[in-house]
Structure formats: C-alpha cells, structure tokens
Chains A and B, each alone.
Chain A
Amino acid sequence: MEYVDSLTGFRLDGRRPNDMRQIRGEIGVVAKADGSALFEMGNTKVIAAIYGPREVQNKGQQANNQALVRCEYSMANFSTGDRTRRPKGDRRSTEISLVIRQTMEACILTHLMPHSQVILIEFLVHILLKFFMYFLPKICFLQIDIFVQVLQADGGTRSACINAATLALADAGIPMRDIVTSCSAGYLSSTPLLDLNYIEDSAGGPDVTVGILAKTDKVTLLQMDAKLPMDIFENVMQLAIEGCKAIAHYIRGVLLENTKQLECRRGI
C-alpha cells in the first residue's frame, strides 16, 4: 500500500509527511484530582489525572529519600471501534505504564519530596532534644499517582499519554525539571512520517516514539521495535524531536493561558 501518494505527496489523511495531527490540550477536567488534563492528537484522546503527593499506601514500595511515582495506563472499552472488554494489567498496558512512569520520573524532582511531612517533625527534633529521636512518630513517605486513560485510540497513544501526564502534573503543581513531551515518527514508503495515525501505525513499519525534555534537549524516552538503518533512523528520530518541540511549544501556551485565568480568578 502507498502511504504517501507519489503524485501529490500527501498522506492518506491529507497531511504532508512532516505534518502533525491537530493537537488540543485542556487543563482541569477532573475536579477531584490534584491535577488533571485532557490531550488530543487528532482522533486520539487521552485523559490524565494526578493524585499526590500523598502518603505511600504500600509500604513495601517506598523509596528512601525520594517520592514514589506510580502510573497506571488503561484503555477505555469504548476507545476502539470494536468494543471489547480489556483485562486490567495485560502485557501491553503494563509495558506502557512502565514506559510512562519512567519518562515522568525523569523529569519530576522526586528528591525534593523525600518525606515532606517529616520535615516538620525533623525541625521539631532539632529544636527539641536529640534523644527524642527514639520517640519520633512514624516517618511518612510520599507517592505521586498518575492515571492515564485512553478515551479514543487512533495511533500514538503512548505519546498522547505522556503529553497529557505532563499537563496534569503541571496542573497539580508538582515540581518538574522541564516539560516532557513525546511524539512518534515512522518510516513508510521510504519517507519519514511524523505522528503516525492508526492506519499508518498498523502498516508494520518502524515506529519511533521519542520523549524529550524540551528546553534542555534531553531524551527521556526512545522506543522502536523494528530494524532501521542508522542514517535513516537518525532522520526519523530528528523528525520526532521536531514534533516533540512543537508540542512543547503548544503545551507551554496552554499552561500560560491557564495561569492567566487563575490570576484573573484570584483577581490579581
């Protein structure tokens, strides 16, 4: 099949090879959560909700001097054309959960929140006597929960999830090094293509998903499960990075807009 029309140079949906789909981000869609966001890339629609920082629920998972980040990825039953029941914790969603967690962990300043409630207590300790240490109340560790759910799937869900999570984390006010954004790029019909949709994704060609810290230009995520010659791979990856930067630019705009609204509401 021809994924890029050789006569007109358009992709199946009318984009040029280095066009992204239409993106849209919205902050504050789940009132109950500490931070939440909705992110759309074309027909892919993802919702993210953040809970935390809050007390670690499972003591076994706690890390010593940094906050714990947890992530759960799921797909709504209605997210694809055929409505199938999706078991929780299947191989694919576990893998994507892990990928998103690692990507977000790389930009959240977890070391700033080792056990923040304890800071107060430690402060007390310093003021009071040192031997009171024995009677310290239990130290409480922190965790951040990221929930992402795919409402509508049309290719590039993991990129969309990462972008949504970034927006939601910013909404929750969690300290981050930088904005992480992600975008995919593929290589079909001998052309590097930006932001694959479902048809292009299921063509079986290589699909490179890249996540970067937009300002510092650091790669936090790079995935591809196909073979590609090195020089072509570099081109494809460069295209994906361009895509990430464009998304970062947009996300920054959304955040700025959001902050302005907050200012208005507070009447500053």
Chain B
Amino acid sequence: MLQSKSFVKKTKQGRVVKVVREHYLRDDIYCGAPSCKVCDTSASRLSNSASTILIVDTNVVLHQIDLLENPAIDDVVVLSVVLEEVRNKNLSVFNRLKALCTNSLRKFFVFSNEHHKDTYVKEMVGESPNDRNDRAIRVAAHWYQSHLGENTQILLITNDRENKRRAVEEGISAETVESYVRSLGKPDLLDLVVLSSSADVNMEDVEDHRPSKKKVIYSEHKPMSEITSGLLCGIYHQGKFRVNRYNPFEAYVGSESIGDEIVIYGRANMNRAFDGDIVAVELLPQDQWHDGKSMIITEDEDDEEEDVHLAPSSADDAPRSVNPVQPTTESVPPVSNRPAGRVVGIIKRNWHSYCGSLEPMPMPAGNAGVAHALFVSKDRRIPKIRIQTRQLENLLDKRIIVAVDSWDCLSRYPSGHYVRTIGQIGDRDTESEVLLIENDINSRPFSTQVLACLPPLPWSLSSEDLANPNREDLRHLRVFSVDPPGCKDIDDALHCKPLGNGNFEVGVHIADVTNFVLPGTPLDEEASQRGTSVYLVERRIDMLPKPLTEDICSLRSDVERLAFSVIWEMTPDAEIVSTRFTKSAIKSCAALSYVEAQARMDDSRLIDPVTTDLRNLNTLAKIMRLRRIKRGALTLASPEVKFQIDTETHDPLDIGMYQIREANQMIEEFMLAANISVAEKILNHFPLCSLLRRHPSPTKEMLEPLLRTAAAIGLDLDVSSSKALADSLDRAVGEDPYFNKLIRILATRCMTQAVYFSSGDLSPSEFYHYGLAALLYTHFTSPIRRYADVIVHRLLAAALGIAKLPPIFQDGPQLTGIADNLNYRHRNAQMASRASVELHTLIYFRKRPTDTEARIVKIKSNGFIVFVPKFGIEGPVYLVPKGNNGSDWVVDEAHQRVTKVGTNIRYNILQTVKIHMEVVEPQPNRPKLQLTLI
C-alpha cells in the first residue's frame, strides 16, 4: 500500500519548497511475540511466557532510560515512532536504546509501526505532530492487544496524563512509570525512576521539602529564538563550555566569533551550564573583566581546593594559566584583557552519568521514607547533584553513579537520580572501576561473537601460511625482542645482520595482527571501539582478547610467529640505503628485558652473536638519535613513576622514577625509523586516506608559563622553532643535576599531544611532527595494543598489493571519525593510567607519611605548587592557613617569588624545599594527600 507524505521545508537559501515523499505500508511486519499464531516467529525477541508486554512512549524513554537499562524491565516493544522521536531529541539516549534493542540478552523488540498497514496513522487537520505521535502509539498498542488476544496484557507506559486518559478510554491499559515500578514490588528500582517536575505527573505524592527556600538563584535561560537572533547579530557567542579542571568555579568558552576564549567566573555566571555543554554567552562590560585572583583557594561557596595530583605530562593535562602579568595594587580592582562573560542559554546539554559518592549526612528520622541527599562527583568540574533515595543507609559509604535530570533556576543544585552502585569507597577495586567509568573505558569481557573470531587454539604456524607467496620465511634470521620486564604483549622484534659490503641489514618485525583481525568482523569492530589497550598500575585492559594479545600475536621467544617486517640496508653511518616491507614468518631467539639487554651490552666479556647484534644496533641507534636531535627533535622528559606491586594484595610496595636506559632509547630509535618509513610508503600510495600522526607546534601562549619561569631565574630560552628550543634546553644547565630535567619537564607540559588524522583532511604542511622533527609520522609498531597501528598495517598491506584496501578507507568522513575516536580513546587511556597512578600513590602514602625534597614550580599568593620528583606528583603547599585572607605574604610576579612582609623569608620558583607528605581525611571517606612545609 502506498501513502505519500508531504511537508513543507525551508531550504538553505531561505526558499520554501514542498517535499513529497513516498511512504510504503507493508503487511510483512511481525509482532515479535513468539506466542503469536499469525506472524513469522523466527525473528521474535520477546520472551515466550510474557504475560505483559510493555509499550513505552517517547518521554518515558527519554527520561527513564536508566530504568529501562535495568534487567528487571523486559518484554518491551519499542515503536519506530518512539525511536525516531528519541533520535531527534537526544542522540545519546537513542544510542543506549539502540544498544538495548540489539542486546541479545534483553527482550526489547522494535516494531515498525510507521510502516505497518494497520498501525500507520495520518496526521489529522489541526493535530500537532506530538498528538499525532501519541495517537500512533495508542493505535499500535491497540493493534497489539487485538493481535495477541486476551492472554497477553499490553501495558502502555506513559507519564503523560492526557495520553493515559485517552488510552484508557480507547480500552488500552496504561500506567505511569512510577505506578508500574511500584507494582513490581522492588523498592530499589524506585530510585531509578526519575520524578518529572513537569505538570503531567501527579504532583500530589511528591511532597515539596523546601517550600520556604523557593527563591530564584540563577537567572532564567533565554528562549531559543532569542538566542538564535542574538547569535546572528553578535550579542551572544556560541561555544563549548569547559570547566577548569582545577577550579570548578572558572570556565572557558572557546568562541569562534570573537576568536578568543571567554572566561566565566562563578556559579552565577555559569548559570547551570555543565562541562561540555554548547552554550550561548553574553560578554560582561569591560570593567568587570576582573582576573580570577591567582589564589589557590577560590571564591568559596563550598570548601573546594586544589588537590595533590600527578604532575601533568602535557599542556592538555595541565591547569590552564589565566594570569597574565598584571601589576596589582591594593585599591584598584585588577582588570584583565581576557573577555569575561556569562551564560545566557544552553544550546545543547552534555549531561550524562557521573561517578561519585553522597555527601555525608545524618540519617533522616523516618528510616523507611524517601531521603534527599547531595551527590558529590569525583570529577570536580561537576557541581553537586541532588538525588532522592530510599536506600540512603546503603549508599552513604558507596561509590555510586548518578544521572542528571534537570536544573531549574530555583535550585542551587541540579537534580538527578541514582543509577547504580559500584562498590565501597576507598576499596581499590571500586576506585579502579570508578576511574575506568570516568574515562569511558570499556573493561567488560569480550563478547562471544568477538571470541568466535579467534583462530582455534593452540595456534601454530601452518604450512599454508608459509606457502603464501606474499609471506617471506625469515625463520633463519637471529631475531630477538627487547621489552620492559614482564611484558607479555611483545609486538616488536629486531634483527641485525652484517652484510658483505660492510653495511648492515636491520629488520624491525612487528606482530602481524591484521592476519587475525579481519576488517568488518565483530573482533575488528570491538578493537576499533576500544582503540587502545589501557595500562593501569595493577592491571591491563586489552584491546584484543587475551589469546591474541599474549599468545598468537605476541612475538615470544622460541616460537614461530607471523610478522610484518620493515627491512633496511644501512651503512655503518646509519644511512638508509634501501627499505623493503614484507609479511614474514619469524622465530625469535630471545625475549630480553631492557635491563638484560643493557647488561649484555655493558659486559665486555660477552661476545655471543645476540650481544654483538645488540651492540651493532646500539651503535647505529646512537648515530640515528644524534642526527635526529641535530634536525631539531626535542628530548622531552616526563616524570614517569613505577610501582612495585605486592603480588598477593596488589598493594603498592614501593614507588620510584622510571629509569630510562640506553637500551630503551635504542629500541625507540628503530621504532621511530620504522614508523617514518611506513608513513612515507602509505602516504605515497594513498595520499587521501592514510592514517598519520602529527604534533602541532605549540603557540606562543602555550609556551608562556615556561618563558615566565625561565625569565624569573634568568634563563634565556629560544622558542622560535623546535630546533632552537632543543638547543636552548641543552644549554640550560643549572648547578644541580636535576635542573635540566626539571626545565624539560616544564617544557613538555607546555606542548599539546600528538594526534592521529586522515591525510585527506589536512594539507601536507600540517602533517609535521613537532616533537620528533619529522615531516611524516605514523604508528605502525604496536598493533597489539593500538588500533591505529592495525589500520596502518592494512594500508601498508594494500600499498604492497598483498591485500585489498577495506571499503571504509574510501569513506573520508568515516575515516576521520575513526581517527577522532582513536584520539579520544588514547587520551582517555592516558588519563586513566594517570588516575590509577594517583590512586596508588594515595594508597602507598596512607601507611607511610614521608619527608622528601620538592621543587617549587608555581607561585601563588597564599602558597606555592611543588613538584616532587621522586614520586612524580604535584600539589599545593599553603603558607597561609585556610580561611585567613589577610595574607602577609607578597608575591613578586616578575621574579616569581613570594616574600613574607617584614622579613627576608622568601621562596623562589624552582627552589628546593623540604616537605612532609601525609594522607589526611578531612571528611570521612575522602582521603587526600597533604603536603606541608618543614
């Protein structure tokens, strides 16, 4: 049957056109209930014995998705009209709903009511689209009831009172969410129910707890039409709202219209915006562009303060510097040239669920009743969230997840609802879980579909693999690998063979992951979603299932493995004469650790072949490294720490700086060379769809903190190019040995991170990798733990004509999407690793208060920030007790020093101080590390 839909649409040019589309109605859409006698039941998803089938309306899905995700709710029919409305209103909820509908464990069935001949409804004259959709839902519910007969009850779940009334009139049973959940008799489910504040829910049973406090706290958001016109005529500015990670009362909106970031101070100006929202901002008059005082403690509503953190490793992690040098006198309010603004409206919300815990509070008198509690997110950028719960006593000492529902201008805090419990606060497993959730890392075990893609175990090299003409048999070569101790996912190995003409043949052999991870398989999809393996202190979350990671792909010693090899011929001066790429079969003769390799090279008595190879490689690597540094590559430093973990309790036993040896640098050098060779090759073949990695040059503003520090200690840094910077970093030698490294660490955190991109998206001049001073760079050498390398392997194989290029490479936007996802995952993995180290640092110091040396890296008016080299952490040291604003310390911005008035006690930047580190618990369940001067 044919129906045509016609509607009127405005084109981009502003003309109004009528659009007519066909709409086919079918008779082959099945109801999805296995008990049905009429329909084809092969694709049915509902349960056999379902006595009640739920049909949900759009608002129920939009607001109660957390409830729907609970396994207690099942046998749900999702109508396509609901699906479509949800898609248009909230994409993240739509994706969650879609995941529910495709999850084979859940009984959610999608019914295309819009294309079914009996359930399609035509819009009536004068009927709004909303009413039409509600009617469509009722018609579908009615159809289901008459289709399945009396044995099955169809229950329409709606919170819309009018819809419910009409449904009952039409003979369909309907219930509100709350009454339905109540009828299930599971009180803990009730916490998941979002109590809607809109008028269509029975407000009678939601008692108002704070009637007297109803005063307007935030100004009303402007209506959308006003915002749109305001944006057009330039009164308002649109941008993404980002809260300062280190100060939740300060936020930035990057605005394209004024080409600068607008600073927003204070909750009132932030006007209920959350981190990540797209907001409209109005600029404040220029005399109100005051600087947020460069104090550690900010304008306090709550007692929030700076915490001890792991030292940031790049500009992306570091606290943003806001204070350009301003001569400040007591009376004149400081005025900065940074535009300040306030949020007038929110264009797109970025609400999701947050991890945290409840604020400690006394138990309310009536134990059985509903309690209101304040939820404090672990992410400091998120304000406290008010929730209602019936299980307060269970939740007080737990880490929980809470979702935000609304925030009206009458309440100081947004209101949300409880989603689920993770575990006991302070428990290591719980806290690890929290940091995984916070960084959006999927740590679930691999699904059966994914595991089905693995080759049968035990795997061994087959004769077919060897018979493949594209695969070279390199098993006779003396290949070995050098990795950190205890490394199980060995994805690179090397060989070095002197040639007759005095040159060397050097090969880098990378695990041939793409031989097992075929494009388009569930395994590939999963890996592409995960993007990277995540290394936490006590565990590793793999990108590929364990058999691949640790066995089949891992280039372990004395077993035959498949590899993808880059083989160079090099002169003794490390000049590359020729480069060759091939798939290969290798047999590693030794899996060394860095320590072992270093010891072998250093022990002059050893002259066995592997050691000789190692020495040859090391000689070549040194020359290559020198040449690279001459070209301008930066030797940056990051304060990496290493834990020794108790094998039984998994508690940290000791921490210390990660030591970098010559062997590490040797391996790094050859990996860099392999990556660069591969990047050249794939870009040559696929100029439009190669996945490369670039590192943008830091801008002047980003380097400013470094320059300010350098100026304060009389050091002259030239930052005009990476070469100049590298040279001046080399020249920066202070009296103590750690000085140079400290400067390098400070320089590193001014840089942004390198990112993946698709070569079709940028012009070749933007491909540059600043840190490595390489024109082209990509990732090829770790396919077991990074998905980017898997893609590059496929590109290289296609460039060599071994395999076909998978179709996604022809789809530019999709490739860009993959690159963006990889960047996102990569960053999250790093954040998670850092958070994990922070967590373990805390656990470590809980039992061991320590005195140690620290370096001052930033001066504030009431103290300074110190960096503890030994443990790689950074945190504030207060000179003034908290709450005491009448400070007798004076900050000298130009020299970056703080002096006590009337004395000559002063602290300079980069000065060494002695501090005491101790874990304190100012509030129950909130342990934190405190640094005090001694």
Interface set of A (CB-CB < 8 Å, partner B)? 5-8, 10, 12-15, 19, 21-22, 42-43, 81-82, 154, 190, 197, 199, 227, 229, 232
In the bound complex, do residue A7 and residue B98 qualify as a contact, i.e. CB atoms below 8 Å apart? yes
Contact A13 B22 (CB under 8 A): yes
B738 interfacial contact with A, CB 8 Å: no
Minimum distance in angstroms from B65 CB to a CB of chain A: 16
Q: For the complex, what is the distance from the CA of A190 to the CA of B110, rounded to whole Å? A: 21
Binary interface encoding of chain B residues 71-91 relative to chain A, with 1 for a CB under 8 A from any of its CBs, else 0: 000000000100100000000
Known: A14-B112, A19-B24, A43-B4. 5 other contacts (CB 8 A): A8-B115, A13-B23, A13-B24, A81-B20, A197-B22
Contact of A232 among B17, B24, B83, B807 (CB under 8 A): B807
Contact B19 A7 (CB under 8 A): no
CA distance A101 to B112 in the complex (A): 43
Which single member of A22, A199, A232 contacts B2 (CB below 8 Å)? A22
Which one of A7, A12, A42, A229 lies within 8 Å of B804 (CB-CB)? A229
A21 touches B18 (CB 8 A): no
- Contact mask B1-29 → A, CB, 8 Å, 1/0? 01010000001000101111111111000
16 A-B pairs within 8 Å (CB atoms) are namely A5-B80, A5-B112, A6-B102, A7-B102, A8-B80, A8-B110, A8-B112, A10-B112, A13-B21, A13-B24, A14-B26, A81-B17, A81-B18, A81-B19, A190-B807, A229-B807
Indicate whether B101 reaches chain A with its CB closer than 8 angstroms. Answer: yes
A267 nearest CB across to chain B (Å): 37
4 residue pairs, one from A and one from B, having the closest CB atoms = A14-B24, A14-B115, A81-B17, A7-B110
Find out whether the CB atom of B114 lies under 8 angstroms from the CB atom of A14. yes
**Which chain B positions have C-beta within 8 A of A10?**
112, 115
Residues of chain B contacted by A14 (CB below 8 angstroms)? 23-26, 112, 114-115
Contacts of A154 in B (CB 8 A): 20, 22
Residue B810, interface by CB 8 Å: yes
A229→B811 CA distance, assembly (Å) = 12
Q: Which residues of chain B have C-beta atoms less than 8 A from A229's C-beta?
A: 804, 807
Cβ-defined partner of B22 (8 Å) among A21, A81, A227, A232: A21
Chain A min CB distance to B580 (Å): 27
Whether the pair A15, B24 counts as a contact (CB closer than 8 A) is yes
In angstroms, Cα B23 to Cα A10, docked, is: 11
B814 vs chain A, min Cβ distance (A): 10
Give the complex CA separation of A68 and B639 in angstroms. 83
Asked, given contacts A22-B2, A81-B17, A81-B18, whether A6 binds B98 with beta carbons under 8 Å apart, the answer is yes
User: Which A residues are in CB contact (< 8 Å) with B4?
Assistant: 43
B647 to chain A, nearest CB (A): 46
CB closest residue in chain B, given A229 = B807
Kindly list chain A residues whose C-beta atoms are within 8 Å of the C-beta of B101: 7
Would you give the shortest CB distance from B711 to chain A, in whole angstroms? 54
- Closest partner residue, chain B, to A230 (CB atom): B804
Docked Cα-Cα span, A154 to B18, in Å, equals 13
**Contact across chains for B80 and A82 when beta carbons are under 8 A apart:** no
**Inter-subunit contact A199/B26 (CB<8 Å):** no
Which of chain A's residues has its CB closest to B4's CB? Answer: A43
**In whole angstroms, how far apart are the Cα atoms of A82 and B807 in the complex?**
36
User: What B residues does A15 contact at CB under 8 A?
Assistant: 24
| Whole-angstrom CA separation of A227 from B112 in the bound complex | 33
Closest beta carbon of chain A to B803's beta carbon, Å: 12
A80 to B638, CA, bound (A): 63
For B807, list chain A residues within 8 Å (CB). Answer: 190, 229, 232
Residues in chain A near residue B25, CB distance under 8 A: 14
Residues of A within 8 A of B24 (CB): 13-15, 19
State in angstroms the CA–CA spacing of A15 and B23 once bound together: 9
Contacts of B18 in A (CB 8 A): 81
Cα A81 to Cα B114 with chains together (Å): 25
Q: Note all chain B residues with C-beta closer than 8 A to A8.
A: 80, 110, 112, 115
Q: How far is the CA of A190 from the CA of B519 in the complex (A)?
A: 13
Q: Which chain A residue has the least Cβ–Cβ distance from B806?
A: A229
**From A81, A154, A190, A229, residue with most partner B Cβ within 10 Å:** A81
Closest-CB distance, B574 to chain A (whole angstroms): 41
Closest to B109 in A: A7
Residue pair A82, B115 in contact (C-beta under 8 Å): no
Chain B residues near A7 (CB-CB < 8 A): 83, 98, 101-102, 110
The chain A residue with its CB closest to the CB of B520 is A190
| Contact present for B21 and A82 (CB under 8 Å) | no
Q: Are B112 and A43 in contact (CB under 8 A)?
A: no
Within B91-110, the residues touching A (CB, 8 Å) are 98, 101-102, 110
In the assembled complex, the CB of B591 is this many whole angstroms from the nearest CB of chain A, namely 39
The answer to whether A82 and B11 have CB atoms under 8 Å apart is yes
CA A10 to CA B15, docked complex, whole Å: 31
With A14-B114, A227-B810 known to touch, is A43 a contact of B15 (CB < 8 Å)?
no
Distance from A188 Cβ to chain B, minimum over Cβ atoms (Å): 11
The chain A residue with its CB closest to the CB of B13 is A82
B115 partner residues in chain A, CB cutoff 8 A: 8, 10, 14
User: Whole-angstrom distance between the alpha carbons of A12 and B19 in the complex?
Assistant: 14
